[in-house]
């Protein structure tokens, strides 16, 4: 296999970065294996679970379905760059059990609150329907979002 | 009796939550050691085949490949807790589509993947045995040398045949449940390396570091002190990481190459090669007298354990033990079979054999109540066991028995009282509403099997304490609960408590983290450790004071004697250190048990959990879609150590129960899994789960730490039958197969027209 | 799941540049837009490895315009944008409704309308809506430009009227006027994100003066190799007053237009029943709207 390497520049959590990676690597692979930033989790690599959610130009996307080539010149925010008040709300409301899905949920929540600063329960459910959690039954996740929004 | 407590019973945010939510926690799958080898697995593509030849020569010469490993590299190529029937890497045969045949270790992920494709395996396909009933036929093709009956047993008390003749009402049905996939968000994952003491160290998601350690040293024939197993925070387990996955493979690669290695299963590998909940076929003939007393239960249980036994033999025992529900039934006759098939391996999954038989029994109970004209909750209350009663195995129930409290809670619940008006709400004519309940029971501890665990406790030089145990943090919050117990017992602030867990080099053996009893076990061992620590501190105080002291008490970093002397723990710690007396103790708890009854492995337990659920559902009769509008999950928890983590466990278990009941349909065709990913195997999303109401009732367990009992599994058990009973209430047609997917419910309803 | 580390990605700066590359490499390169289907397919060996033409940054293909009674949607427009677009919500509410069901928020933010069309899954959720809107697809190559009605675009299961050097640049359809009522439906096996077992769209024109249906369009997905129009059912509805008999007859008549198969999500028999029942429920709901 002839591995191809290219250089890509983008903004990661507010900082400009340059990274050499195969152009068809996903953003998830680049974050975890090249940059070694592992807060973004790999649950299925198929866009089915939401654990790898990041913000691309402010919108929630699957980093496992985003090529590093898609990211060139854009802005990426991972869990490491999200408003800590959301992280704190998840922790204090007991929404964290095994915790593997939570970074993705935290990022999805950041996108949700950007669109709906005071979301209804319906809006929370609609916006987080792509983030699977196997531990919590989602009850405390809804509470965490509401706590982060101050509703 | 409830003891006044400062840390026990308090809702405190988990100590690991912030780090996990911020993405800082390193799970096994996040570890990428320097200079590592990437490992890829070649798996069988046949559900059943003889291996004629394995040729790795081409793969071994591929660029970047450091090693290709097969069964020839494994000194003792069989492992397993009950039967050593499972190969580390297949030699003579493959028995299911995920069976591992070879491993490639290479310098990059890509090179490992490429080389796997170049391994040549010649197979001779064998007949595929996919149906467990056919597998049990002596004429069927043998998957293992001794045939396809992995285990068969019969347990009977009283005279069922005669009792059934005397019954006023008898119902007889056959129920089926499909396998369930754990679908933890973190797949099976690990890394391995040689540590600074020269030990082959495996850091991998698991539930029992000492058991994993045992399986590694016994298969690879290594000295016990040359292997170390560490289990970091695990991204979900639910029983699915109770068995070996990547551990032996990783140890093999590092043993053979001396290099660090990383092996993480893809989602597809996880769904195919990870263990499952057993699929079941349960036939029941249950009878009750005119006055509403259950008198007889005839049960036939067939569980499909797939290609290998794994923990199946014990799962079958729990099925036998719980198939009569939490009821007094004087006559029982239970026959049970565990079948080998060429399906995926089944083993532990939250509930451990109980959900399947409850799906049957709790529907039997509803049918009998209806036939005899009883309210379903009253009927259950009339029959349920109470403390001091004798159970169906003539076993005295000496522990806490909170089932009547659970059922009373539902009886008084608004949704039950107002169920008639609730059902009246109309949306569209094709939408029907129903309300259903179910009860549940399951033993915690390993029952009649030996179960002993140790917990270490160290007085640190800074005056705080470190608790050490091999319990694993699989999401359930045991580390938090242990910290709260330790702070309570040591009368100190919780931030003075450190917990070190799940490392065979650092922590004593606290036995396995399973059977909902780690807190019970570790908590009791910790209590013993605290007593020993008080003695040790007493000796330290004596050295400081220079005279004997009768009794010591701890208080916020100080030790006090009855004569009023008050010394900081830091000083005691220094004194003990200087004198070489040691600052560490080990507490031990040998779980009380009785001898197993004939025909069983672990029946009966001394300790049981109880629970109940109420479901309000809507059934769309034109589509078969069932939605759960309300779900109340009640569990008898003995005593809540941390109400927040406790309700979290109940809510999560209930959500898995909704998935099991309605969504999670494993489709297998001739041993081939068709639902290999999270787009075909659907677990509940946030839109599929209502705002679950979790209610903990506390029926104090005298043997438990501060009265606490096991709670990890009970929450899932009553959910599927409660939903089934609610569906019946809505459409007057009984679902005998779970999951009750839209298609199954659609045909069920349609058939009656 | 295989690595794509050896796959090259060409990222042109303009549509013209993209068309030039397609012209030169026609057949040897695959177009990737949002990547929500293609990346998984390539990693799971459903499609072969080829180099990729990344058009994701071609913002000139992201627009929604209303011009002369026609809605023009740039091929790269994502479904979140389509779902929220005031133009689409007014001019084609049935598409706005379909757009929101395509997947999770993460998918909607990335998946493009052209990608959904070209990926050609018979279960694609935007397609039944585009069928009842009778959308036109605008294809460009270096040398040519042409328009294909969506019904003619699909020649069979995943078979398209599209040359390897062409790019789907725009989707357009006539604005839905007064008196039109539309509804999208989707039967997934989970209330969260799930692929459709059956989906469909119904668009009716209600003539208020005669109190009858004057035009009917019904499209169904996941029940044939391509999305289909249920013409027999449409014919039954035209002239009806959406009374129960007409609704029952029309929903039964969809059977003549479909040819479902068994797959992991459902049996053919179940898909047949769902086709009729969903059309029935949808027509009942539309009838209620009309009566209000």
Architecture of the domain spanning C180-291: 2-Layer Sandwich (3.30)
d(CA A119, nearest CA chain C) in Å: 15
Q: Cβ contact (<8 Å) for C57 and A72?
A: yes
- Region B85-100 average pLDDT: 97
Predicted confidence band of residue B11 (pLDDT cuts 50, 70, 90): very high
Architecture of the domain spanning B276-447+597-752: 2-Layer Sandwich (3.30)
What is the 3-class SS of chain C, one letter each residue? CCCCCCCCEECCCCHHHHHHHHHHHCCCEEEECCCCCHHHHHHCCCCCCCEEEECCCCHHHCCEEEECCEEEEECCCEHHHHHHCHHHHHHCHHHHHHHHCCCCHHHHCCCEHHHHHHHCCCCCCHHHHHHHCCCEEEEECCCCEEEEEHHHHEEECCEECCCCCCEEEEEEEECCCCCEEEEEEEEECCCCCCCEEEEEEEEEEEECCCCEEEEEEEEEECCCCCCEECHHHHHHHCCCCCCHHHHHHHHHHHHHHCCCCCECCECHHHHHHHHHHHHHHHHHHHHHHHHC
Which residue stretches of B373-494 are H helix?
376-383, 403-411, 414-417, 419-424, 478-489
Model confidence over B656-675: pLDDT tens digits? Answer: 999 999 999 999 998 999 99
Domain C61-174 in this protein, CATH class: alpha beta
Among the CATH numbers 3.40.630.10, 3.30.365.10, 3.30.2350.10, 3.40.50.12160, which is that of B452-590? Answer: 3.30.365.10
3-state secondary structure of B373: coil
- Residue A1 pLDDT > 80: no
Q: How far apart are the first and last CA of chain B?
A: 56
d(CA A96, CA A90): 6
d(CA B743, CA C265): 9
Burial class (CB in 10 A: 0-12, 13-18, 19+), B45: middle
**B54, B421, B37, B11: which is closest to B255 by C-alpha?**
B37
Residues B719, B661 contacting (CB under 8 angstroms): yes
Is C34 an 8 Å CB contact of chain A?
yes
Nearest CA in chain B to C266: B743
- Region B493-512 average pLDDT: 95
Model confidence over B690-745: pLDDT tens digits? Answer: 999 999 999 999 999 999 998 899 999 999 999 999 999 999 999 999 999 999 99
Burial class (CB in 10 A: 0-12, 13-18, 19+), C86: exposed
Model confidence over B319-367: pLDDT tens digits? Answer: 999 999 999 999 999 999 999 999 999 999 999 999 999 999 999 999 9
Is A139 an 8 Å CB contact of chain B?
yes
Q: Cβ contact (<8 Å) for B743 and C6?
A: no
d(CA B667, nearest CA chain C) in Å: 7
Which pLDDT belongs to residue B515?
A: 74
Count how many Cα atoms sit within 13 Å of the Cα of residue B6 in the half-sphere of its side chain: 12
B160-179 burial: b if 16+ Cβ within 10 Å, else e:
beebbeebebbbeeebebbb
Closest CB to B746: pick one of C2, C191, C270: C270
Burial class (CB in 10 A: 0-12, 13-18, 19+), B373: exposed
DSSP letters for B197-241: TS-EEEEE--S-HHHHHHHHHHHHT--GGGEEEE----S--TTTT
d(CA B502, CA B232): 7
Which pLDDT belongs to residue B511?
A: 86
Structure-token pair, residue B718: 């009553």
Model confidence over B241-281: pLDDT tens digits? Answer: 999 999 999 999 999 999 999 999 999 999 999 999 999 99
From chain B, the residues in CB contact with C190 under 8 A are: 663, 682, 684-685, 687-688
Structure-token pair, residue B741: 């997917």
d(CA B216, CA B225): 12
Longest dimension (CA), chain B: 90
**Which residues 182-211 of chain B have a CB within 8 Å of chain A?**
182-187
- Region B491-509 average pLDDT: 96
pLDDT > 70: percent of chain C: 100
Structure-token pair, residue C228: 């289909």
Q: Kindly report whether the peptide bond that precedes residue B307 is cis, defined as omega within 30 degrees of 0.
A: no
d(CA A33, nearest CA chain B) in Å: 8
**B484, B437, B424: which is closest to B14 by C-alpha?**
B484
d(CA C115, CA C126): 11
Which pLDDT belongs to residue B3?
A: 54
Q: Cβ contact (<8 Å) for B688 and C190?
A: yes
Measured CA to CA in angstroms, residue B442 lies from B18, B602, B709, C203 at distances of: 33, 12, 12, 54
From chain C, the residues in CB contact with A56 under 8 A are: 109-110
Measured CA to CA in angstroms, residue B453 lies from B242, B471, B520 at distances of: 17, 10, 10
3-state secondary structure of B34: coil
Domain pair B31-126+188-264 / B452-590, same fold: no
d(CA C91, CA C68): 12
**Whose structure tokens read 């998946």?**
C111
Contacts of A122 (CB under 8 A, 6+ apart): none
d(CA B655, CA A110): 25
**Which residues 19-58 of chain A have a CB within 8 Å of chain B?**
32-33, 36, 38-46, 48-49, 51
3-state secondary structure of B596: coil
B-C contacts (CB, under 8 Å): 60
Average pLDDT score, chain C: 96
Is A85 an 8 Å CB contact of chain B?
no
Model confidence over C68-95: pLDDT tens digits? Answer: 999 999 999 999 999 999 999 999 999 9
**Whose structure tokens read 């405390």?**
A140
Which pLDDT belongs to residue C27?
A: 85
Predicted confidence band of residue B753 (pLDDT cuts 50, 70, 90): low
Residues B320, B290 contacting (CB under 8 angstroms): no
Is A87 an 8 Å CB contact of chain B?
yes
d(CA C56, CA C16): 14
Q: Which of B10, B12, B13, B17 to mutate to test the interface with A (most CBs of A within 10 A)?
A: B17
Q: Cβ contact (<8 Å) for A3 and C39?
A: no
Which pLDDT belongs to residue B550?
A: 83
Q: Cβ contact (<8 Å) for C270 and B627?
A: no
- For chain C, domain boundaries: 9-54, 61-174, 180-291
Measured CA to CA in angstroms, residue B392 lies from B156, B389, B397, B506 at distances of: 9, 10, 10, 43
d(CA B724, CA B175): 12
Is B555 an 8 Å CB contact of chain C?
no
Is B107 an 8 Å CB contact of chain A?
no
Which pLDDT belongs to residue B1?
A: 42
**Whose structure tokens read 């058009």?**
C55
Q: Which of A22, A59, A61, A138 to mutate to test the interface with C (most CBs of C within 10 A)?
A: A61
Question: B103-117, B422-436, C251-265: which has the minimum mean pLDDT?
Answer: B422-436
Model confidence over B535-569: pLDDT tens digits? Answer: 999 999 999 998 888 889 999 999 999 888 899 99
Q: Please give the residue that has the higher pLDDT: either B423 or A15.
A: A15
Q: Cβ contact (<8 Å) for C5 and A4?
A: yes
d(CA C194, CA B99): 30
- Residue B134 pLDDT > 90: yes
- Region C105-120 average pLDDT: 97
Is B195 an 8 Å CB contact of chain C?
no
**Whose structure tokens read 């005071």?**
A118
3-state secondary structure of B339: strand
- Residue C287 pLDDT > 50: yes
Among the CATH numbers 3.40.80.10, 3.40.50.2300, 3.10.105.10, 3.90.1170.50, which is that of B31-126+188-264? Answer: 3.90.1170.50
CA torsion angle B372 B373 B377 B378 (round to 10): -90
Predicted-assembly ipTM surpassing the 0.95 threshold = yes
d(CA A39, CA A102): 10
d(CA B660, CA B683): 8
- For chain B, domain boundaries: 31-126+188-264, 276-447+597-752, 452-590
Nearest CA in chain A to B649: A136
From chain B, the residues in CB contact with C193 under 8 A are: 685
- Residue B61 pLDDT > 50: yes
- Region B583-612 average pLDDT: 95
From chain C, the residues in CB contact with B665 under 8 A are: 189
Among the CATH numbers 3.90.1150, 3.40.1000, 3.90.25, 3.30.43, which is that of C9-54? Answer: 3.30.43
d(CA A124, nearest CA chain B) in Å: 9
Q: Cβ contact (<8 Å) for B266 and C5?
A: no
Q: Cβ contact (<8 Å) for B21 and A51?
A: no
- Residue B24 pLDDT > 70: yes
Structure-token pair, residue A5: 């390497």
- Chain C interface, Cβ < 8 Å to B: 1-3, 5-6, 44, 187, 189-195, 197, 264-267, 270, 273-274, 277-278, 280-281, 284
Longest dimension (CA), chain A: 53
From chain C, the residues in CB contact with A69 under 8 A are: 9, 11, 52, 54, 56
Is B667 an 8 Å CB contact of chain C?
yes
**Whose structure tokens read 């075909």?**
B680
Domains by residue range for chain A, with CATH: 6-80 (3.10.20.30), 82-149 (1.10.150.120)
Q: Cβ contact (<8 Å) for C35 and A66?
A: yes
Q: Cβ contact (<8 Å) for B18 and A134?
A: no
CB neighbourhood size of B564 (10 A): 6
Q: Cβ contact (<8 Å) for C270 and B674?
A: no
Q: Which of A12, A99, A101 to mutate to test the interface with B (most CBs of B within 10 A)?
A: A99
d(CA B203, CA B222): 17
φ, ψ (nearest 5 deg) of residue A44: -150, -15
Predicted confidence band of residue B4 (pLDDT cuts 50, 70, 90): low
pLDDT > 90: percent of chain B: 93
Contacts of B217 (CB under 8 A, 6+ apart): B223, B224, B226, B227
d(CA C276, CA C278): 6
Residues B273, B95 contacting (CB under 8 angstroms): no
3-state secondary structure of B709: coil
Burial class (CB in 10 A: 0-12, 13-18, 19+), B91: middle
Pairing of the two strands A6-12 and A75-77: parallel
């Amino acid at each position: 296999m002839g591995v191809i390497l290219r250089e890509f520049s983008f903004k990661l959590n507010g900082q400009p970065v340059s990274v050499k990676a195969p152009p068809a690597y996903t953003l998830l692979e680049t974050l975890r294996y090249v940059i070694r930033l592992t807060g973004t989790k790999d649950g299925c690599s198929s866009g089915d679970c939401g654990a790898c959610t990041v913000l691309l130009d402010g919108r929630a996307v699957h980093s496992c379905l985003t090529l590093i080539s898609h990211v060139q010149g854009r802005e990426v925010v991972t869990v490491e760059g999200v408003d800590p008040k959301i992280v704190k709300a998840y922790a204090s409301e007991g929404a964290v059990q095994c915790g593997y899905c939570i970074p993705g949920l935290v990022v999805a929540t950041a996108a949700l609150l950007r669109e709906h600063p005071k979301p209804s329960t319906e809006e929370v459910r609609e916006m987080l329907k792509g983030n699977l959690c196997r531990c919590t039954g989602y009850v405390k996740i809804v509470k965490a979002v509401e706590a982060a929004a101050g509703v | 009796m409830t003891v006044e407590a400062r840390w026990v019973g308090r809702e405190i945010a988990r100590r690991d939550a912030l780090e996990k939510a911020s993405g800082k926690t390193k799970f096994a799958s996040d570890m990428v050691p320097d200079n590592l080898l990437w490992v890829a697995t070649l798996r069988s593509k046949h559900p059943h085949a003889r291996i004629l030849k394995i040729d790795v020569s081409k793969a071994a010469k591929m660029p970047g490949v450091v090693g290709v490993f097969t069964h020839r590299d494994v000194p003792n190529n069989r492992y397993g807790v009950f039967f050593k029937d499972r190969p580390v890497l297949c030699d003579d045969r493959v028995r299911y589509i995920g069976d591992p045949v070879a491993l490639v270790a290479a310098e990059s992920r890509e090179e490992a993947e490429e080389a796997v494709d170049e391994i040549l395996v010649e197979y001779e396909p064998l007949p595929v045995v996919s149906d467990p009933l056919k597998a049990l036929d002596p004429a069927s093709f043998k998957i293992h040398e001794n045939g396809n009956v992995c285990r068969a047993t019969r347990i009977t008390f009283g005279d069922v045949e005669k009792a059934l003749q005397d019954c006023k009402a008898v119902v007889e049905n056959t129920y089926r449940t499909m396998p369930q996939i754990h679908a933890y968000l973190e797949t099976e994952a690990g890394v391995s390396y040689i540590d600074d003491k020269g030990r082959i160290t495996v850091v991998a998601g698991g539930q029992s570091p000492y058991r994993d350690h045992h399986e590694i040293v016994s298969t690879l024939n290594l000295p016990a002190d040359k292997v170390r197993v560490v289990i970091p925070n695990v991204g979900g387990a639910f029983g699915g990481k109770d068995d070996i996955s990547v551990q032996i493979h990783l140890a093999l690669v590092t043993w053979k190459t001396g290099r660090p290695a990383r092996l993480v299963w893809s989602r597809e590998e996880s769904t195919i090669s990870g263990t499952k909940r057993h699929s079941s076929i349960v036939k029941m003939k249950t009878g009750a007298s005119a006055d509403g007393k259950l008198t007889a239960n005839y049960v036939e249980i067939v569980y499909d354990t797939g290609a290998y036994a794994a923990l199946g033999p014990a799962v079958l025992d729990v099925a036998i033990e719980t198939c009569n529900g939490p009821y007094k039934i004087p006559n029982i006759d239970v026959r049970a079979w565990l079948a080998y098939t060429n399906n995926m391996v089944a083993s532990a999954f939250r509930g451990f054999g109980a959900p399947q038989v409850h799906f049957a029994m709790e529907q039997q109970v509803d049918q009998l109540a209806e036939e005899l004209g009883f309210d379903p909750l009253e009927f259950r209350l009339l029959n349920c066991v109470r403390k001091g009663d004798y159970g169906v195995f003539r076993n005295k129930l000496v522990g806490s028995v909170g089932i009547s409290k659970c059922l009373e809670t539902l009886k008084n619940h608004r949704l039950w009282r107002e169920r008639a008006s609730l059902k009246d709400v109309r949306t569209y004519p094709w939408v029907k509403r129903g309300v259903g309940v179910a009860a549940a029971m399951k033993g915690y501890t390993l029952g009649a099997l030996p179960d002993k665990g140790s917990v270490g406790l160290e007085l640190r030089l800074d005056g705080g304490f470190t608790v050490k145990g091999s319990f694993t943090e699989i999401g359930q919050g045991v580390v938090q609960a242990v910290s709260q117990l330790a702070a309570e017992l040591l009368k100190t602030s919780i931030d003075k408590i450190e917990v070190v867990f799940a490392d065979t080099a650092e922590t004593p053996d606290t036995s396995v983290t399973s059977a909902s009893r780690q807190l019970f076990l570790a908590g009791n061992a910790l209590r013993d450790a605290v007593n020993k620590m008080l003695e040790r501190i007493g000796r330290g105080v004596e050295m400081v004071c220079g005279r004997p002291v009768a009794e010591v008490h701890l208080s916020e970093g100080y030790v006090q004697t009855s004569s009023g002397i008050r010394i900081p723990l830091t000083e005691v710690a220094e004194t003990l250190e200087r004198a070489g007396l040691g600052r560490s103790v080990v507490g031990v708890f040998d779980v009380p048990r009785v001898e197993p009854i004939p025909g069983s492995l672990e029946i009966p337990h001394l300790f049981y959990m109880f629970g109940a659920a109420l479901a309000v559902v809507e059934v769309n009769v034109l589509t078969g879609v069932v939605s759960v509008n309300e779900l109340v999950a009640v569990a008898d928890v003995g005593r809540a150590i941390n109400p927040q983590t406790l309700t979290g466990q109940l809510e999560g278990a209930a959500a898995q129960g909704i998935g099991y009941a309605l969504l999670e349909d494993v489709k297998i065709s001739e041993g081939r899994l068709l639902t290999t990913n999270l787009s075909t195997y659907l677990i509940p999303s946030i839109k599929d789960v209502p705002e679950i109401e979790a209610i903990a009732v506390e029926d104090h367990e005298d043997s438990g730490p501060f009265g606490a009992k096991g709670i990890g599994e009970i929450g899932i058990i009553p959910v599927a039958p409660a939903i089934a009973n609610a569906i019946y209430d809505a459409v007057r047609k009984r679902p005998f197969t779970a999951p009750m997917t839209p298609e199954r419910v659609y045909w069920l309803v349609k058939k009656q027209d | 799941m295989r690595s794509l580390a050896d796959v090259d990605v060409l990222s042109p700066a303009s549509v013209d540049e993209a068309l030039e590359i397609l012209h030169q490499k026609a057949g040897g390169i695959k177009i990737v837009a949002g990547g929500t289907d293609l990346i998984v397919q390539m990693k799971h060996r459903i499609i072969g490895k080829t180099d990729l033409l990344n058009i994701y940054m071609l913002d000139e293909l992201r627009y929604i315009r209303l011009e002369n009674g026609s809605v023009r949607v740039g091929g790269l427009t994502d479904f979140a944008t389509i779902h929220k677009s005031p133009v689409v919500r007014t001019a084609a509410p049935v598409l706005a409704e379909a757009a929101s069901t395509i997947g999770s928020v993460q998918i909607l933010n990335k998946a493009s309308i052209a990608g959904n069309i070209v990926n050609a899954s018979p279960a694609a959720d935007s397609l039944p809506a585009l069928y009842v809107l009778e959308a036109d697809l605008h294809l460009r190559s270096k040398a040519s430009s042409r328009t294909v009605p969506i019904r003619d675009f699909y020649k069979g299961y995943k078979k398209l009227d599209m040359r390897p050097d062409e790019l789907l640049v725009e989707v357009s359809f006539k604005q839905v006027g007064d008196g039109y009522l539309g509804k999208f439906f989707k039967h997934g096996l989970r209330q969260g994100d799930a692929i459709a077992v059956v989906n469909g769209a119904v668009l009716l024109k209600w003539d208020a003066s005669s109190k009858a249906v004057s035009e009917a369009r019904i499209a169904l997905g996941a029940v044939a190799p391509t999305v289909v129009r249920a013409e027999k059912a449409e014919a039954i509805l035209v002239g009806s007053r959406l009374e129960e008999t007409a609704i029952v007859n029309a929903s039964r008549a969809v059977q003549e237009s479909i040819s479902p198969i068994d797959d992991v999500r459902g049996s053919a028999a179940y898909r047949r029943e769902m086709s009729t029942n969903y059309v029935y429920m949808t027509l009942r709901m539309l009838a209620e709207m009309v009566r209000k």
